[in-house]
Amino acid sequence: MAETEQPQIYLITPGDVELSTFPGVLASVLDAVPVACLRLALTSNDQDRLLRAGDALREVAHARDVPIVIDRHWQLAERLGLDGVHLLDGARQIRAARKVLGEDAIVGSYCGTSRHDGMSAGEAGADYVGFGPCAPTALGDGSFAEPELFGWWSEMIEVPVVAEGALTPELVTALAPLTDFFGMGPEIWESDDPIAALKTLAAAIL
């Protein structure tokens, strides 16, 4: 994931996909709006399902020169020919994943709202750190990553940062000067028109 002056879109798949139709939908979305990276974020722990999804979505992504990483299952990333892994537990598995996947792989880490976890992940060698959600939600304890966190990070830390969760066009515009990537997922897929939803959010990156 290359860092640029203007934030880029980091597209996150739904937690469950219908493999007979989703690859086609994904292809249309990737053809419509520039995407820097795709994250396979299935909630399933069924290895066969993860392998089939990984194969199908890797073909779609790589045909468009979009790198693809997988949530959590770094042991499957190499087997599937993916570009890396997105870890969900801060710095805990970064070094182990890096040892298996190699220096060229993308190893990112979601750190919730914790500045400390983000710094620990960066020190452990994460290629990027994710914070979120970016607004209050009914999930978890209601905490969220405030703009001040992104502002501090972008000023003090060189590791690229991803803002994800509960994004709106207004939030995207406000956070655009403070982040390197926007992780967009439910905001897109819960819409009746994913392409239009993504275009609306992308247009807010000013």
| CATH class of segment(s) 8-203 | alpha beta
For 180, residues 6+ apart whose C-beta sits below 8 A from its C-beta are 3, 4, 7, 8, 128, 154, 160, 161, 162
117-161 pLDDT tens trace: 999 999 999 999 999 999 998 877 889 999 999 999 999 999 999
Alpha-carbon distance of 66 to 16, in angstroms, equals 21
* Cβ–Cβ < 8 Å for 187, 167: yes
Q: What SS3 state is found at 152? A: helix
> Domain limits of the chain?
8-203
**Mean per-residue pLDDT, 15-39:** 98
71-81 pLDDT tens trace: 999 999 999 99
Burial 109-143 (b: 16+ CB within 10 A, else e): bbbbbbbebbbbbbebebbbbbbbbbeeeeeeeee
Report the pLDDT value the prediction gives residue 141, as an integer from 0 to 100.
82
